[in-house]
Amino acid sequence: MTTDQVGADRELTLHDHWPGVPTGKYVITAEHTAEGTADGKKFKQTFTGSRTLYVRGPRFVLTPEQVHACYPAPGAAGAFADDLPHAVLAPAVLPWERVLDKGRPEVPWLALLVLHEKDLPVDPATGRADQTRSVKELLPGAGHVQPPKVLLPALTEEQDPKHPESCRTVDVPADCFTDVLPRFDELPLLSHVRRVSGTGGGDHAVLLANRLPRTAGRYTAHVVSLEGFTAKQLSGGSPLMPDGKPAEKVRLVSLWSWDFAVSGTAAPSFLSVAKQVAANSAGRLPLRLPDGSTGKTAVSKRLADGFVPVGHQLPDGARTYAWYRGPFTPVVPHSLPVDATTLTSEAEALIYSQAHGVFDVGYASAFALGKAITLANTDLARSLGEVRAAATTAAQELAKRLARGLDINTGRVQAKSFGAPAAHPGRLATAAFARLATDGPLLAEPPAPAADPGAATRKPDAPTLQPVVDATTGPHAQAAVRTVVAQYLDRVTGAGLDPARLLAAVPFDHLVPDPGLLPPESVRLFHVDPAWLRALTAGAGSLGLCTSLDLALHDEVTKQVLAASAPPAAGLLLRSALCRDWPGLQVVARRNKGAEDVLSGAPRFLAADLLLAFFTAAPDSVVLRQPSQVLHFGLDGTDLIKLRYARPEDGEVGSSMARDFTGVPLRQPKNPARTREVLDTGRLRAAVKDRLCESPPRWDSATALPPGVLGLQLLNSQCQLVIEAAK
């Protein structure tokens, strides 16, 4: 069992940026020159045509469809001291659809600005630091508003505009603008494109913030537009008004924003919780109680096989103990001495150990649970009643046909007269079914009986005497019941007579009957006992058994239901904060060296901290993986970055190198009251490159570290807990 930080099964590629066609007006001109000879004369003629098109893109507002994900999640609260907030946007070209500097197409026009609640004054009326205002206030012309000492972006009016009527803005104090906003040369380093291959993947742009939220309180992350600002204004100097005087505030358009909170108490990480689960489960993966005894005793053998002692009351009222094991067993279960599909009562499922004078009540409990589940399922109880009624009707019809005189041994009609009507069809059918259950296929339609010479002289009101036969041998009843079962099987299974659905209804204390089987922060593996499921199914179908016809019908229904089902063969139970604190925890189960996926359906969360997963076969390895949406960026610890291979010739791209980087540079704020928590991204890029150049495999010292490579070093990928078979 190992824990490591790894990527998902799908391939992840980071690109520096995504070039596209900038927004604006474009004129496409086509020219074609035709020349040749016509009527003996040479000619040359030029044809031209042009079309005007407009490339549009978001300018003031982003829609929810354009914001693929945010980290930390909106409304989240916790410790994010080593995390860089980020936004994932679509389409991938979005941050480069507008141009800040024509000579630097890799510089995005969007940035992620993270502000603490103390950075901006809050409007008492709205409780927010941003304001909604008309777009016309920002554009030149009628409606433009220039507040005193507030630097506005120098926007231009676009031809064929399709912008909204209003937008949200933030007025950032000048010192905060200088301290927190990413600088012009840092903007390319804080943006890249993430390509994920496979189902559910795609291309998305990623905007990283440069601020590590280390101060307790509320933060707001804003996707802001830098359009209308020059490279000089974004280079870290104090903002100046157009007349050269210092500005007190800078107005930025916020296209999207979300809030999160930082608490003073650090929550356990996925990695630390996974390590705790690994420590508590190592050497104790099978679902069994720990055995504190010494030596090999009968009790030790029972505990090793997954049994637990339970209280048991005998028929005479005396109380003793018995052994119980549910459907989950740590060993491959043994076959029963009797066929569980033929069980008709709990007593038949009791197993008694004469050597030790102790009952095994596991299968009897399964049978009783099946009956209880049917009692609680009105649809299933009704469907079982319908199939029994249909079988009774079919058996009655069979009795009438047999009473017409078919001799099953000779195939000839025998006419016999009695002074009383024929026997009750139901009783006759019951007897026939009980005796014919194991005979061959259904015979052809019997011939009509011979004419009764006395019928013409019989009085009209006299009872008609029907020829009868001994219907206790032959295939007719069994064939009739099989026909009824085939007609009603889908209805019965659809109502709930299915091993997998019945298993889902079993109370948890019958699956795991002792807390010691699954202690906190642990994982356990198990086989599924098919005999237990057969007893459960037999019990569910046994409700209301009365006649021998019911018994034979019950056997046939149970056998066909089990034959048509594909219950799980093994499974996993996880009791951990991994379930509660990381919703969407992923389970991957494989065998045959990873070639075969054996996960049976989606894992079930039985409680906030309890997960149950089934497998179609015993797996070679099981992986419990952090949800894919938690892929984020930041440090690997205070002042620490674990470096990764960035080139295939050096090693597997993305895998950890045996090399760390320490000494993460932080920007010194101009405002002494502001905490040093803003990355100096330019210095970080240079320092990481120097560390990569120190020893083989060395990065080329003459080559700058691309944004995608820096993003790879800051990537905090999914953690996972790996459970593997012993080798």
Query: DSSP per residue over 610-659, as a string?
Result: EEEEEESS--SEEEEE--GGG-EEE-SBTTEEEEE--STTTSSTTSEEEE
Asked if residue 370 has pLDDT above 90, the reply is yes
Asked if residue 452 has pLDDT above 50, the reply is no
- The tokens describing 176, both together, are 């905060």
Give exposure, 46-62, as e/b (b: 16+ Cβ within 10 Å): eeeeeeeeeeebbbbbb
Give the type of residue at 150. Answer: V
Of 253 and 7, more confident: 253
Of 25 and 362, more confident: 362
Give the type of residue at 689. Answer: K
Contact 46, 31 (CB under 8 A): yes
Instruction: State how far the Cα of 599 lies from the Cα of 568, in Å rounded to an integer.
Output: 9
**What's the sign of the alpha-carbon dihedral 646, 651, 654, 658?**
negative
pLDDT at site 374 = 94
Instruction: State how far the Cα of 616 lies from the Cα of 567, in Å rounded to an integer.
Output: 8
Asked if residue 187 has pLDDT above 60, the reply is yes
- Chain centre distance of CA 60: 35
pLDDT at site 479 = 59
Give whichever of 134-148, 333-347, 670-684 has the largest mean pLDDT.
134-148
Q: At what angle do helices 378-402 and 425-436 cross, to 10 degrees?
A: 90
pLDDT at site 200 = 57
Residue with tokens 């004419």: 451
pLDDT at site 303 = 93
Band of pLDDT at residue 456, cut at 50, 70 and 90: very low
In sequence order, the 6+-apart residues with CB closer than 8 A to the CB of 278 are 1, 2, 3, 721
Asked if residue 462 has pLDDT above 50, the reply is no
pLDDT at site 582 = 81
pLDDT above 90 covers what percent of the chain?
A: 45
- The tokens describing 134, both together, are 């008309």
Q: Which residues pair with 257 in a beta bridge?
A: 222
* φ, ψ (nearest 5 deg) of residue 247: -90, 145
- Chain centre distance of CA 133: 41
* φ, ψ (nearest 5 deg) of residue 615: -125, 145
Instruction: State how far the Cα of 330 lies from the Cα of 305, in Å rounded to an integer.
Output: 6
Contact 323, 308 (CB under 8 A): yes
Helix (H, G, I), strand (E, B) or coil at 27: strand
- What are the CA-CA distances from residue 62 to residues 58, 168, 225 (Å)? 6, 11, 11
Helix (H, G, I), strand (E, B) or coil at 313: strand
Asked if residue 111 has pLDDT above 50, the reply is yes
Q: Kindly report, residue by residue over 16-66, the tens digit of the pLDDT.
A: 988 888 888 889 999 999 988 888 888 888 999 999 988 888 999 999 999
Which has the closest alpha carbon to 114: 263, 264, 260? 260
pLDDT at site 389 = 85
Which has the closest alpha carbon to 466: 407, 404, 396, 412? 404
Band of pLDDT at residue 1, cut at 50, 70 and 90: very low
Q: What is the mean pLDDT of residues 137-148?
A: 91
Of 200 and 116, more confident: 116
Band of pLDDT at residue 141, cut at 50, 70 and 90: confident
Q: Kindly report, residue by residue over 199-248, the tens digit of the pLDDT.
A: 556 899 999 999 999 999 999 999 999 999 999 999 999 999 999 999 99
Asked if residue 397 has pLDDT above 80, the reply is no
- The tokens describing 634, both together, are 């930041």
- What are the CA-CA distances from residue 377 to residues 346, 382, 503, 619 (Å)? 20, 9, 14, 34
Lowest-pLDDT range, 256-270, 451-465, 588-602? Answer: 451-465
- What are the CA-CA distances from residue 340 to residues 345, 532, 533, 557 (Å)? 11, 8, 9, 13
Of 455 and 273, more confident: 273
- The tokens describing 300, both together, are 């030790």
Q: Kindly report, residue by residue over 478-494, the tens digit of the pLDDT.
A: 656 677 777 788 888 88
Tell me: cis bond preceding 707? Omega within 30 of 0 counts.
no
Instruction: State how far the Cα of 40 lies from the Cα of 42, in Å rounded to an integer.
Output: 7
Which has the closest alpha carbon to 566: 642, 617, 619, 509? 617
Band of pLDDT at residue 265, cut at 50, 70 and 90: low
Helix (H, G, I), strand (E, B) or coil at 300: helix
Asked if residue 451 has pLDDT above 60, the reply is no
pLDDT at site 151 = 96
Asked if residue 459 has pLDDT above 70, the reply is no
pLDDT at site 411 = 42
pLDDT at site 467 = 36
Of 38 and 442, more confident: 38
Which has the closest alpha carbon to 210: 178, 232, 253? 178
pLDDT at site 369 = 96
Q: What is the mean pLDDT of residues 512-540?
A: 95
Element (H, E) at 396: helix 378-402
- The tokens describing 15, both together, are 């690109």
Mean pLDDT of the residues in the chain: 83
- The tokens describing 67, both together, are 């914001």
- What are the CA-CA distances from residue 416 to residues 411, 420, 429 (Å)? 15, 12, 19
Contact 263, 216 (CB under 8 A): yes
Instruction: State how far the Cα of 206 lies from the Cα of 88, in Å rounded to an integer.
Output: 5
Instruction: State how far the Cα of 187 lies from the Cα of 248, in Å rounded to an integer.
Output: 23
Band of pLDDT at residue 675, cut at 50, 70 and 90: confident
Band of pLDDT at residue 198, cut at 50, 70 and 90: low
Band of pLDDT at residue 442, cut at 50, 70 and 90: very low
Helix (H, G, I), strand (E, B) or coil at 454: coil
Asked if residue 475 has pLDDT above 60, the reply is no
∠ CA 480-485-487, rounded to 5°: 100
Lowest-pLDDT range, 261-275, 371-385, 431-445, 590-604? Answer: 431-445
Of 650 and 268, more confident: 650
pTM score: 0.65
